[in-house]
Structure 1
């Protein structure tokens, strides 16, 4: 039966099997069903043991190619998971939660304390702090948001920061002040779409530095400044943007959404949201190429970074860092350590030349089934 009907049909003493994967509840099932789920349970426990064995291992490919495997977090309390799953730092600290989950805007001092805490906890690894990305579906107290027909194409993220510079400056001051003691903080700006926009953001960043200098507040003078690559206009002109920053981090969620003109939250068109679409892959390829031509590194911090089916593509395209929810790290490491850079480069080049996302997935499945140990491929099928 479906889970929503379960309460009215279950009695005290009944034997139940809850299948969370398919949203089913079995009440007093026959012996063969019980045995089938016992086998599934045993396989799941075995899979968990295999994944646990990858936690302490370094993130590198079969041929020794090193990749940084970092974690995405939204709140400081998630640092425990970062440590538990042996992440190599924080590749994305989403700071908008600090604004959304309260009745008033956070002060500079409150922000500084939070950023300092996270930096200390991950030291000597680094933490990339992304400036606020509210707007769209996220609103905060103290700011009047306009009614917009297309909020995800409207007033959000850095566009708000540039229109309300005191808000952006306060956050930049807090990040800079927090960077002094550990010197492992990097700052990243989301939703950049134009060079002039980027230059204005950098000017505000420099203004924050000057203010702190004038006040005698120390900060890491070598702090890196990067941007999210989420808009096709940036990916297409990656070489130009790379001249202005220290690193890129590709946000595959929005990049896919904007490339394919698909609202991923709209059930009517969600089937068209295809992160493996060749057009999206080509933009990732352009981004990596533009970054490396200018000798800056590039990471991926969208959902695709934690998708094991995407791992060979991202590695083959030359991405330097993958940042994902901490719990995803063991499986991604398992896949990564089973593949060579050469093989991944070949499948990535083939995928970019295909015509549809379905063709890409077919090639990926054949590739992974051929190159991965059986137990790792089984892990992907069951967990990925």
Structure 2
């Protein structure tokens, strides 16, 4: 028996047989053609492109019917990319100039695109690499005259094991036969993970070496709640997981009821719980799980799902859709957090050497005012429809915040001159996601209407750790004393100047951190919608003084191991039903 730990991306527990899928790939060698045949190669490429887009539209229709619009949006991104002339025109030019086959030109273009996405500073962008390979395979298949292939049918329910799965593969699963999947690669925000959640299939990704350790037909357990995969489990472990699965079903029932209740501690303190979204359609999940609004709307996904740069109307329509779906509940819109992507790099003289520390996020917006103003106009116009808050990302110094607010004021004046209605008192806040912002929080608190602590980037920049790099990913944890001290400093500054402070990173949705965060003074959390009931369950079982004592206790610890052990111990004592008794 062997236990593997990865990233939980879709909940549930399944015991079954492994179905090992080898990577579907094509080895495209460099082949040249005579100059008089290059136009024919371009024509072949255009035909393959057209067939690929037609196939994708069929897949979108099927996905909308069976999986919902969010999953279908995955393939909308593919259509947008394949229609993007900044991608397709260079392929045609390369064929004509270098006298190469369409297959080879396509392989080069998508390989370069994948490399660009891989170096982007935002994880949500880096996880789109599998989508790029999916698009490449699709176009090459059509160039080779091959029909779209599906996963082989099986005679019994199986668990798919693969190095990676493209969104197309995941969407083609027969839910009656494929009970779960695990992959070596992947992340929480990847499109394949989105499809898995839409299908309701338990999934664990980022296992690194599952395909090397799993044999075809091997019995395995997939724990999509905790990111654990057990290979060749013994009888005792099987029984434990059978019991755990029963408890998990009971917990689901409990949390379904908890979702309807207020998030109030036993001593009567209300904790606001919001959801993070990338698409307006996700708001339904927030409401179903008992959320009180949107604490973080990641608007850069408008760029990933469009074949052209979004217009002001594209922005406006998306925001209005979200506002109306919330029916009076607040919507916090984060302005563009674009990094070293195809939009920013297209305007650069050369790709940035270190995009994580380069011209990204608010820095990019301040240097590209038409793009920034276009979004601000749309947000302000939408503010006439409901409660909207504006949040600037990656603010590191006061001049950045002041400049962003000045530009916002300029846009307000433009709208007034045009007699376009908007909320003139729209709250304007900022993300605290760098050590610089946290250490200067007492100054920012005097100029921002609210703070939202973005722990994902705060951890990365504080600890100098890329969590997607498996060689150092073990160092990435919010339980580092330095990270907790920065959170404490930010909350203290916010409280002193009566500036509301929220937390919106992954930590906000992890139950073992809930008591600590309340103890540090946080009263507002924003998280993945599905996490809301679990956090609410913890909140309803504790009092504030209990949380303050825990925060003081772990504040004296000098290692993340001691801190996380104490947090888990304290949380298990309060809500044992969330953890069960299985320690795998």
Q: TM-score, normalised by structure 1?
A: 0.91
Kept in 2: contact 1:276–1:357 (CA 8 A):
yes
Q: Which residue of 1 aligns with 2:426?
A: 223
**Distance change in 2, residues 1:233/1:33 (3 Å):** closer
Find the partner of 1:71 among 261, 265, 275: 275
CA distance in 1, matches of 2:272, 2:384: 24
Q: 1:106 aligns with which of 310, 322, 326?
A: 310
* Structure 2 CA distance for partners of 1:12 and 1:341, relative to 1, 3 Å: same
Aligned to 1:275: 478
Q: CA deviation at 1:127?
A: 0.5
In structure 2, the residue matched to 1:353 is 556
Equivalents in 2 of 1:12, 1:113: separation in Å?
46
Determine which of 232, 251, 262 is the counterpart of 2:465. 262
Superposition deviation, residue 263 in structure 1: 1.1
- Distance apart, 1:11 and its partner CA: 7.8
d(CA) in 2 for partners of 1:356 and 1:233? 23
CA, structure 1 residues 89+285, in 2 after alignment: closer, same or farther (shift >3 Å)?
Answer: same
Change (3 A) 1:60 1:160: same
Quote the residue 1:88 is aligned against: 292
Q: Does 1:181 align with 2:385?
A: yes
Q: How does 1:14-29 map to 2 (within 5 A)?
A: 19-21=221-223, 22-24=228-230
Distance 1:230 1:283, change over 3 A: same
Q: Which runs of 5+ in 1 are unaligned?
A: none
Larger CA Rg, structure 1 vs 2: 2
C-alpha distance after superposition, 1:56-85 (max 9, x if no partner):
011111211111100000011112212211
Pick closer, same or farther for the CA change 1:331–1:215 going to 2, 3 Å: same
Aligned-pair distance for 1:24? 5.0
1:156 matched residue in structure 2: 360
1:201-240 equivalences in 2 (<5 Å): 201-240=404-443
Q: How many Å separate the matches in 1 of 2:583 and 2:510? A: 11
Deviates most, 184-193 or 103-112:
103-112
Deviation of the 1:374 alpha carbon: 3.3
**For the residues of structure 1 that align with 2:582 and 2:374, how far apart are their CA atoms?**
43
Structure 1 equivalent of residue 265 of structure 2: 61
When residues 139 and 342 of structure 1 are mapped into structure 2, their CA distance, relative to the original with a 3 A threshold, is: farther
C-alpha distance in 2 between matches for 1:272 and 1:93? 28
Match of 2:197 in 1: none
TM-score, normalised relative to structure 2: 0.61
Q: What is the DSSP-based 3-state SS (H/G/I as helix, E as strand, rest coil) of the residue aligned with 2:511?
A: coil
Aligned residues: 376
Are 2:397 and 1:194 equivalent residues in the alignment? yes
CA distance in 2, matches of 1:154, 1:257: 15
Cα displacement (A) at 1:119: 0.9
From the superposition, tell whether residues 354 and 18 of structure 1 become closer, same or farther in structure 2 (CA, over 3 Å): same
**Cα deviation code 1:268-317 (max 9, x no counterpart):** 11111121111101100110111111111000000100011111111111
Contact 2:244 2:582 in 1 (8 A): no
Residue 367 of structure 1 and its aligned partner are, at CA, apart by 2.2
Q: Check whether the contact 2:338–2:344 (CA below 8 A) recurs between aligned residues.
A: no
- Can you give the 5+ residue segments of structure 2 that lack an aligned partner in the other structure? 3-16, 23-152, 159-216
312-321 or 86-95, which deviates more: 312-321
| Partner SS state of residue 117, structure 1 | helix
Q: Indicate how the Cα distance of structure 1 residues 368 and 79 shifts in structure 2: closer, same or farther if over 3 A, else same.
A: closer
Whether the 8 Å CA contact 2:241–2:582 is kept in 1: the answer is: no
* 1:322 equivalent in structure 2: 525
Aligned Cα RMSD in Å? 2.6
Distance 1:373 1:319, change over 3 A: closer
Equivalent-residue separation in structure 2 for 1:32 and 1:213 (angstroms): 70
Q: Is the 8 A contact 1:307 1:332 kept in 2?
A: yes
CA contact under 8 A between 2:240 and 2:582: conserved in structure 1? Answer: no
Distance 2:238 2:520 in 1: 45
Quick check: 1:337 aligned with 2:540?
Answer: yes
